[in-house]
Amino acid sequence: MTVDPKKPTTDTRQSPEAELAGLYTEYYDKIAHYASVHIGNKTDAEDIAGEVFLKALESLGSYEKRGIPMQAWLFKIAHNLVVDYLRRVSKRKTIDIESVTLRSNESPELVAEINIEVERVKKAMEQLTREQREVLSLRFFGELTSKETAAIMGKSDGAVREMQRAATSKLRVLLTLK
């Protein structure tokens, strides 16, 4: 069968560039939030989210679907950038000014209570396995579906749901003990 070059094709697939542009709108905030939860600095997390899309654009020529959605690839890039960031900053101790600055409408007591609760959850999460922490981070902080999380982690959808169930159950127990 020959193809007439003057006849329009019925191929409705998006180009990788167009798909990436669409994902930027939908996933930038999710990736920034995911990074922020891991690194504790909103400004740096937004920089990481931007860098994710820049790296993706630079690597678009070598991207192959292989059954994995592009957003899973983006979160893999985000994960790697977060790990790199944490390695760089682990050598220096800093305090995120955003975490200690009060907004004018918040009472110091409320901020203190929230900070104490956040620290309790962080300490409890440290007692989970690395994979359980990753599942919770992707599902709740990255706001991904279990199917998207499964693609990122190379697990089945059911395995992710079971890891999430086990992690939330263990967190519940840990947080009620304290």
Q: Which CATH class is domain 103-178?
A: mainly alpha
Angle at 83 between CA 86 and CA 91, to 5 degrees: 25
Measured CA to CA, the distance from residue 57 to residue 114 in angstroms comes to 38
- For 28, other C-beta atoms within 10 Å of its C-beta total 16
CB 127 within 8 Å of CB 95: no
d(CA 38, CA 24): 20
* CA dist., res. 7 & res. 40, Å (int): 54
Q: Sign of dihedral through CA atoms 19, 25, 29, 30?
A: negative
Tokens found for residue 116: 């104490």
pLDDT digits (tens, 9 = 90+) for 128-159: 898 898 888 888 888 888 888 888 888 899 99
User: pLDDT of 43-74, one tens digit each?
Assistant: 999 999 999 999 998 888 777 767 677 888 89
The first and second tokens of residue 141, run together, are 């902080």
When pLDDT is cut at 50, 70 and 90, the band that residue 13 belongs to is low
pLDDT at 97: 42
Residue 100 above 80 pLDDT? Answer: no
Q: Are 146 and 164 in contact (CB under 8 A)?
A: yes
Residue 8 has pLDDT above 70, yes or no: no
Residue 91: what pLDDT? Answer: 64
- pLDDT-based confidence at 7, cuts 50/70/90? very low
Residue 102 pLDDT grade (very low, low, confident, very high; cuts 50, 70, 90): very low
In a 3-state reduction of DSSP, which class is residue 68?
Answer: coil
Domain ranges of the chain: 14-101, 103-178
Per-chain mean pLDDT for the chain: 80
CA–CA distance, 5 with 22 (Å, rounded to integer)? 28
Q: What is the pLDDT of residue 178?
A: 58
Second CATH level (architecture) for the domain 14-101: Orthogonal Bundle (1.10)
Owner of token pair 């960031």: 85
Average pLDDT over residues 113-122: 79
Question: What letter does residue 60 receive in the DSSP assignment?
Answer: G
| 165 pLDDT above the threshold of 90 | yes
Percent of the chain with pLDDT over 70: 81
Torsion 43-32-164-73 (CA) sign: negative
Query: Does 27 have pLDDT greater than 70?
Result: yes
